[in-house]
Structures are given as structure tokens and as C-alpha cells.
């Protein structure tokens, strides 16, 4: 099973080429390209007219270091409710899909739209997202890359707590993928998000099954905040995750999304923290097969 992790923090701290070099040196088989800056940062190279050449340069760097781009993460949030802004964001997501394909990614995570309160707009969000993902399918076909939908959560201000959102329950997540009805649209299960919505991670994995579940975001939290930290440092039951992935014969990669762990360290210590992140991820991934 390929082990990867995101480039988000390392890319911001050191630059994306150096981030790739550091991940290769730490031992990772692959990297998850974080394209978050495609929203809100006009100077980001992936936003410019030379984004294809930039993506090609990163791929060449990765290949020279013996590491691959296994997946990417599109910028988010996918919607705001403003039609003009949402259309602009859709265009950026399409550009992210193309960039990810140039990097060599097999899939790119694209968040569902969930700018409306889920509890009162679940049906409206359903219709909105089915149309959204179906609209992405031709670009998947054009660029030869899958889009992975992710289970989400929302924060309820009045209650001061996290609540359900789009795809936070396995039945609805399966329903979304089946309704879109395309092999180009698959599931990325965010393990931390399952814990925040009080969902059983093993049951979630089994419900999705190996056909739908083709990507992971693995990280830990205290069941209250989306901490995105190192597995085994908080409260998530990773033994249940490993057992379920092994049981369904999961064929995807094992991707850590735990950058907040790295962010806590002074830059001179980040390589050592990255080494621990790799060792932890490798130990856990090996127990999922």
C-alpha cells in the first residue's frame, strides 16, 4: 500500500519543490498535492498561464527523487452561494483537475458544496451536488483522473459544536456516488471527519466498500475539533480502521492529512517531526493489508 501525505504546510514553509524533496527523503512513496492556494492567491503558480509548465516541473522533480503524486486536493470551499463567484471557483477546480493530471495523480479530492445549513437544506444540497459532480465528469474523462468526494461536517455557531453535513453518514455518501453514477467519481473517506460526526469508522468503511472507497485522509482528533494531527495522539480508534480496510480488501493508497502536527514545530525540527509522521503512517498502513 502506497503511503503519502499532503504538501500543504511544507509547500508554504519551504516551497513546493523542496516539499517534494523532503517527503521523498523522509521515505514517503507518494505525495498528495495541496492546491488550496488556487483560491485567494493570484500569485500562486498554479493560477497563472504557465501552470502546466509549473506542474510539469514539479513532476520532473518528483520523478528524479523517486516519489510520485498519487492524489491531489482541489481548493475549497467549492461554493459560496454567489452564482458569479461559484462559477469562478468551478473554473479553478477544473484547472486544478488538469494540473493534478499533469502531476500524475490518480484522483483529486473535491469537496461537495455545503454552504447552506445541512439540517434544513439537505435535499437542496443533494440536488446541487449531484449536478456539480456530474458536471465534473467530462473533465475527468478528458484528463484521465478521478474526482473523490469527501465526507464533510459543519459548525453550528449557536450550539458551539460540530454537526452533520453532506456525506457525513455512510448511507447518504453511498447514495451520492450511486446517484452520480460514474466510475470517475469515487469516495475519499476522511477518518477525522467520521469521528467528529460520531460515526463508526469501521462501519463507514464497510458500507462504502472497495468499489466506492478509493482514497483516504487519515489523521487524529479529540472528537471535538478538526485537529488534523498525528495518529495515536488523540482519540480515534485506528485499529477499527485497519481491520475494516483489510476486511474489504481496500485497494487504494494510505494518505495522511496531519499537517497541523508538523506546524507545531520550529522549522529546524520539522524534518524530525516528518520522520515520525512517516514511521507512524507506515506502521499503520502496513496493518491495513
Q: Does the structure show a pLDDT above 90 at 158?
A: no
Burial 257-283 (b: 16+ CB within 10 A, else e): bbbbbbbeeeeeebeebbeebbebbbe
What share of the chain has pLDDT > 70, as a percent? 100
Q: Tens digits of per-residue pLDDT, 222-246?
A: 999 999 999 999 999 999 999 999 9
CA distance 192 to 143: 30
Query: What local confidence, expressed as pLDDT, does residue 146 receive?
Result: 98
Q: What confidence category does residue 118 fall into, taking pLDDT thresholds of 50, 70 and 90?
A: very high
Contact between 133 and 177 (Cβ < 8 Å): no
3-state secondary structure of 225: coil
Domains of the chain: 3-286 (3.20.20.150)
Q: In what order do the strands lie in the sheet with 254-256?
A: 213-217, 185-190, 146-150, 107-109, 68-73, 30-34, 3-6, 254-256
- Tell which residue, 253, 156, 176, 240, has the closest CA to residue 214: 253
Q: Tens digits of per-residue pLDDT, 184-223?
A: 999 999 999 999 999 999 999 999 999 999 999 999 999 9
Instruction: Out of 149-163, 170-184, 249-263, pick the least confident.
Output: 149-163
Q: Does the structure show a pLDDT above 90 at 157?
A: no
- Tell which residue, 217, 219, 208, has the closest CA to residue 170: 208
Rg of the chain (C-alpha set): 18
Q: Tens digits of per-residue pLDDT, 36-83?
A: 999 999 999 999 999 999 999 999 999 999 999 999 999 999 999 999
Amino acid at each position: 500500500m502506497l503511503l503519502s501525505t499532503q504538501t500543504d504546510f511544507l509547500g508554504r514553509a519551504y516551497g513546493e519543490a523542496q516539499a517534494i524533496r523532503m517527503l521523498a527523503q523522509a521515505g514517503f512513496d507518494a505525495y498528495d498535492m495541496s492546491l488550496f492556494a488556487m483560491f485567494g492567491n493570484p500569485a500562486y503558480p498554479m493560477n497563472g498561464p504557465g501552470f502546466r509548465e509549473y506542474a510539469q516541473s514539479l513532476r520532473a522533480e518528483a520523478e528524479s527523487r523517486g516519489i510520485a503524486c498519487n492524489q491531489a486536493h482541489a481548493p475549497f470551499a467549492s461554493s459560496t452561494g454567489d452564482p458569479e463567484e461559484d462559477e469562478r471557483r468551478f473554473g479553478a477546480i477544473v484547472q486544478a483537475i488538469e494540473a493534478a493530471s499533469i502531476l500524475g495523480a490518480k484522483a483529486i479530492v473535491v469537496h461537495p458544496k455545503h454552504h447552506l445549513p445541512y439540517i434544513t437544506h439537505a435535499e437542496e444540497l443533494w440536488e446541487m451536488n449531484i449536478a456539480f459532480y456530474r458536471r465534473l465528469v467530462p473533465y475527468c474523462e478528458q484528463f484521465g483522473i478521478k474526482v473523490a468526494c469527501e465526507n464533510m461536517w459543519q459548525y453550528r455557531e449557536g450550539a458551539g459544536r460540530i454537526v452533520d453535513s453532506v456525506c457525513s453518514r455512510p448511507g447518504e455518501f453511498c447514495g451520492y456516488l450511486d446517484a452520480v453514477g460514474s466510475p470517475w467519481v469515487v469516495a475519499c473517506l476522511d477518518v477525522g471527519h467520521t469521528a467528529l460526526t460520531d460515526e463508526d469508522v469501521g462501519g463507514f468503511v464497510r458500507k462504502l466498500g472497495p468499489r466506492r472507497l478509493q482514497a483516504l485522509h487519515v489523521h487524529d482528533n479529540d472528537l471535538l475539533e478538526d485537529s488534523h494531527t498525528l495518529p495515536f495522539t488523540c482519540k480515534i480508534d485506528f485499529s477499527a480502521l485497519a481491520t475494516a480496510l483489510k476486511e474489504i480488501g481496500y485497494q487504494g493508497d494510505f494518505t495522511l492529512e496531519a499537517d497541523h502536527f508538523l506546524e507545531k514545530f520550529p522549522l529546524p525540527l520539522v524534518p524530525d517531526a516528518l520522520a515520525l509522521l512517516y514511521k507512524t503512517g507506515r506502521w499503520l498502513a502496513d496493518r491495513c493489508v
